[in-house]
A = this chain, B = another copy of it.
Amino acid sequence: MNVGLADIDPIALLHDAEMRPTRQRQTLAQLLFGRVHRHVTAEELHREACAAGIKMALATVYNTLHRFTRAGLLREVAVDSGRRHFDTNVSYHHHVFDERTGELSDIDEGDLQISGLPEVPDGMEIRRVDVVVRVGFADGR
């Protein structure tokens, strides 16, 4: 349960997403989908790619994160109003956000349950439900 992913083939993954298998995208796919599920921001992922020796423009990371999201490989999570967070786990689940560290972690599907989602008007649909449990030190800060 949620321990990891099968080893993936970045080229096949990119092919399925109808994206050309460039060196940059292969690197990012490897970093994102290579092992366990992850939560990343563009900046973090960019730093990792550079650290791995594959320098690329930050704009490329942004472009790729958006393409992956559009392809259903990533899901965006609205946690803070400063930066965008992306989650490789696209199945239905919710999050804990640690306000000290800025770290995001999954709540296993089924642990947290929601009932009473509102009706939406005809022609509209629920796109996503974000539940973020924000935790911090009990003593204020």
Interface residues of A (CB under 8 A from B): 76, 78-85, 96, 99, 107, 111-118, 120, 123-139
Contact = CB atoms under 8 A, between A and B. Distances in A.
B137 A124 contact: yes
A115 B113 contact: yes
Interface of A is mostly: strand
User: How many of these chains are in the complex?
Assistant: 2
- Give the top 4 A-B pairs by smallest Cβ distance, nearest first: A125-B138, A112-B116, A81-B84, A128-B134
B112 A113 contact: no
Given A82-B81, A118-B96, A131 B134 contact: no
Contacts of A131: 114, 129-131
A84 to B, nearest CB: 5
26 contacts: A78-B81, A78-B132, A80-B81, A81-B81, A81-B82, A81-B85, A111-B116, A112-B114, A112-B115, A112-B116, A113-B114, A113-B115, A113-B116, A114-B114, A123-B139, A124-B137, A124-B138, A125-B135, A125-B136, A125-B138, A126-B135, A127-B135, A127-B136, A129-B133, A129-B134, A131-B131
